Amino acid sequence: MKTIGILGGLGPESTCEYYRIITRRYYDLYGDYAYPEIIIYSLTFSNFIHCGYEAADDIRDAILKLHRAGADFVVAACNSIHIVYDAVAVDLPVPWISIMEVVAEEINRRKLVRVGLLGTIFTMSKGFYQKALNAHGIETITPESDEQHRINDIIFQELVRGITTAESKKYMLGIIDRLAARGAEGVILGCTELPFLIQQADTVIPVLDSTELHARKALELAVGAG
């Protein structure tokens, strides 16, 4: 069984969720407590908020620390820092498992071709996520600019602190409805905190929970099932 490295702290709530999903799903599948070893390296969140998630050297150094600690592969519990994925992943001694690739795999499995993308303003506006999905034949649409700013505020001012409100949930569901009206066949929760606010039961449009999908993939790879 392989050791999982989790690059966490971006933010802390989703880091905890990765650990919970991996360990609980292992028990649900196998009925015992012999789940894989997990090493978590928690980065300081403020450094990445202020530098626009473009600190490739810091991400590389953190992954190298996980490797030296014994991780066989790494998952980053954050969508936004995948802005540096192409620059960093090519020169590592340990695989960095892309959340974008895992999401694309699920979209293709469901035979969807046009999806809405929700996340931080970096994830929605910088183009790296759209590029990764386009390589799999997937078209991505995003909310309007003013909506993106409001979503970003909800994420950073509420969700990363573990706060959820009925007002924010209503707003997000309205955006999902508008994306569906523009032709989105599904919607990506492209921030690992968004599943705290939105679940599949809240909407009829297929919800692609990047946190759940990525954590499950980590478990599959660790036990040799993926």
Q: What is the CATH number of the domain that holds 188?
A: 3.40.50.1860
Residues 91 and 105 grouped into a single domain: no
Q: Within the chain, which residues score under 50 in pLDDT?
A: 52
The pLDDT, as a whole number, for residue 133 is 98
The pLDDT, as a whole number, for residue 11 is 82
Residues 216 and 162 grouped into a single domain: no
Residues 104 and 41 grouped into a single domain: no
Residues 91 and 124 grouped into a single domain: no
The pLDDT, as a whole number, for residue 12 is 86
Residues 105 and 197 grouped into a single domain: yes
The pLDDT, as a whole number, for residue 226 is 58
Residues 106 and 183 grouped into a single domain: yes
Domain count, the chain: 2
Residues 22 and 47 grouped into a single domain: yes
Residue 136 CB: number of other CB atoms within 10 A? 14
The pLDDT, as a whole number, for residue 51 is 52
Residues 107 and 202 grouped into a single domain: yes
Residues 86 and 163 grouped into a single domain: no
The pLDDT, as a whole number, for residue 44 is 78
Domain extent, residue 206, equals 100-210
Residues 14 and 55 grouped into a single domain: yes
Q: List all residues 6 or more positions away from 32 whose beta carbon is below 8 Å from its beta carbon.
A: none
Residues 80 and 176 grouped into a single domain: no
Q: List all residues 6 or more positions away from 142 whose beta carbon is below 8 Å from its beta carbon.
A: 116, 117, 124, 125, 148
Give the predicted TM-score (pTM) of the model.
Answer: 0.94
The pLDDT, as a whole number, for residue 45 is 66
The pLDDT, as a whole number, for residue 123 is 94
Residues 197 and 218 grouped into a single domain: no
